[in-house]
Chains A and B, each alone.
Chain A
């Protein structure tokens, strides 16, 4: 239950990972709800020690994809293979048992419970037996603190309700939790969506830390700047279909941003908004991005599309 992340090389850098078989491979996966085709023939690969980013606007099918990977919904067609073995999940527990840990943006934690209780929720270690079987609270507290420190999170007090942490800190605890419980693949649903610049940076740093621990990471986002900072592979979704799939070396931030906003649509928007530029109040990411150089600073995500 408390096993450390087994035998993953700690020194790997994403570029040097040999292209062994992918941890997770989706091939032409489709999913429909009734007569609504939510996802059509989407393929992606997740490798150990790499980050695969899934980019798309609202309604592009990101959340359907995440639900399939997390085991909340089974897929209709195509194959979903974990380490080469095709699977069909019917519950999140099955995916969890196969090493797929998902961190949801809003339902990651129970706010009024202390950090350490949240950390072990669902996998609590116990001591004693029979009616005396009880939570090993000392170990739980100490392990929580250690596991967070290992990820570089120095929490003031593991006894505080997790709801008193900032949104970024909560995401980080959830990531540290997945790493601690030996997840092989970490699926992150819009981890930076509701965060300010500084907190987004913090979360991305922990995403990178999880990658360096040897996990395969799926990062779902609609912010190409965040994706480009950490990603190794990029899958673009648009209206339920895959509109692009790139390796980092094959694409620039500029092109990524353009593709995500949807080439011609963006041109149109640029034209349409051309006159208001410099007018002061326009600050949407999309239209300004085409002139923006790939900046190392993540833009303010509150204003991203």
Chain B
């Protein structure tokens, strides 16, 4: 599945491009790698890995890997669609609280209706997709910046999450649905884990890898992917040649909503109660992972693999600080510094890549 990922600009297809041109010095593999958006993040990930391997003894233990991967996957699942959206030229500030909204909807619907939890899961999917569609349709209809539109949805959802939960349940958390019908099978799908040797692997890691593979396939090998790059790179030009830019953007917002649903259900079925105030601020983690992974803030450039590497850096740093027994307060500083470094490195790499051609 990850085959198209490792040969993004298409090493299999670039060969039969006709006789070699004498003006074109054969591009070395290194040069080709330099042209990839995720290069900077891979270098960064190796650096972070080596750093924590040296300062934290327990970081290299097999059991730590499971923990790091789990932390990475919870961010990574959302970083994938957020990266696609950024390539398509837009932001979604409501992505963090939307995860909580999705979990709350599922939990409260099942509890209040005394329904099988699968019904709640299904209703939650519809509601969350509708939220995504709302963001997208508002954006393409009003032509306002996505920053404003999704800031509005972010605030409204934050209020709704708290307000509705208190109104219905009387507290800021939902009632436990752990003993309800359907709960075990739902948990198998969204929150199960296996132990291989001493490594504890969460199912979210599979969801994450699957989403990265699908997103990479869509981005590089389908018409929709071409449209995403074009919508973010030059929407006017894309529209002029017949690309359905509005439909592409609405679709991207719904992809964010779909992944928020997956994350939300994981949240619900791993803890069986949901805190209604959660999720605020996570939208920035998703955006940071996408940017560290080489997505251009202005759109038109980036990759899903990069977002995964960005999420992995996040996971290694957040857990590495714990393994190194440092004060976790330093984590925010570290994250900010990583973001700046990544942005600088990306800018530099892209200039090199373009000059190299």
CB-CB under 8 A from A17, the residues of chain B are: none
Q: Is B21 in contact with A156, judged by CB distance below 8 angstroms?
A: yes
Given that A121-B226, A142-B17 are contacting pairs, would A137 and B233 also be in contact in the complex, using a CB cutoff of 8 Å?
no
Contact A164 B301 (CB under 8 A): no
Kindly state whether residue B253 has any CB partner on chain A within 8 Å: no
Instruction: Report Cα–Cα, A108/B240, bound state, in Å.
Output: 8
Would you call B242 and A117 a contact (CB within 8 A)? no
B18 interface contact, C-beta 8 A = yes
Q: CB distance B229 to A145 under 8 Å?
A: no
Tell me whether chain A's interface is mostly helix, strand or loop, or mixed: loop
Check A135 against B223 for contact (C-beta < 8 Å).
yes
Cβ-based interface call for B193 (8 A): no
Q: Whose C-beta in chain B lies nearest to the C-beta of A160? A: B357
**How many residues of A sit at the interface, in one of the four size bands?**
35 or more
Give which listed residue, A102, A110, A134, A156, contacts B222 with CB less than 8 A.
A134
Give the CA-CA distance A127 to B120 in the complex, in Å. 39
Q: Is the CB of B233 within 8 A of A110?
A: yes
A110 to B87, CA, bound (A): 13
Partner of B221, one of A134, A145, A164: A134
B166 on the interface (CB 8 Å rule)? no
User: Closest Cβ of chain B: how far from A22's Cβ, in Å?
Assistant: 24
Known: A142-B18, A156-B24, A157-B357. A114 touches B238 (CB 8 A): no
Q: Report how far A284 CA is from B195 CA in the complex, Å.
A: 79
> Does A239 sit at the interface, judged by CB under 8 A?
no
Q: Which of A103-157 contact B (CB under 8 A)?
A: 104, 107-114, 117, 120-124, 126, 133-135, 137-138, 141-142, 145, 154, 156-157
A158 contacts B by Cβ under 8 Å: yes
Are B229 and A122 interface neighbours, CB within 8 A? no
| Chain B hits for A159, CB < 8 A | 9-10, 14, 17
**A246 interface hit (Cβ, 8 Å):** no
Q: Is A161 an interface residue (CB 8 A)?
A: yes
Q: What is the CA–CA distance of A120 and B242 in the complex, to the nearest angstrom?
A: 11
**A163→B23 CA distance, assembly (Å):** 19
Which single member of B14, B221, B237, B354 contacts A110 (CB below 8 Å)?
B237
For the complex, is A96 an interface residue (Cβ under 8 Å from B)?
yes
Which residue on A lies nearest to B233, using beta carbons? A110
Residues of B193-243 whose CB lies within 8 A of A: 217, 221-223, 225-226, 229-230, 233-234, 236-243
What's the Cα separation between A108 and B300 when bound, in Å? 15
Complex partner residue of B300 from A93, A104, A110, CB under 8 angstroms? A110
Contacts of B236 in A (CB 8 A): 107
Contact B14 A121 (CB under 8 A): no
- Can you list 10 A-B contacts with CB-CB less than 8 angstroms, sorted by A residue number? A123-B242, A135-B222, A135-B226, A137-B10, A138-B12, A141-B13, A142-B16, A156-B23, A159-B14, A164-B354
Mark A residues whose CB is within 8 Å of B.
92-93, 96, 102, 104, 107-114, 117, 120-124, 126, 133-135, 137-138, 141-142, 145, 154, 156-161, 163-164
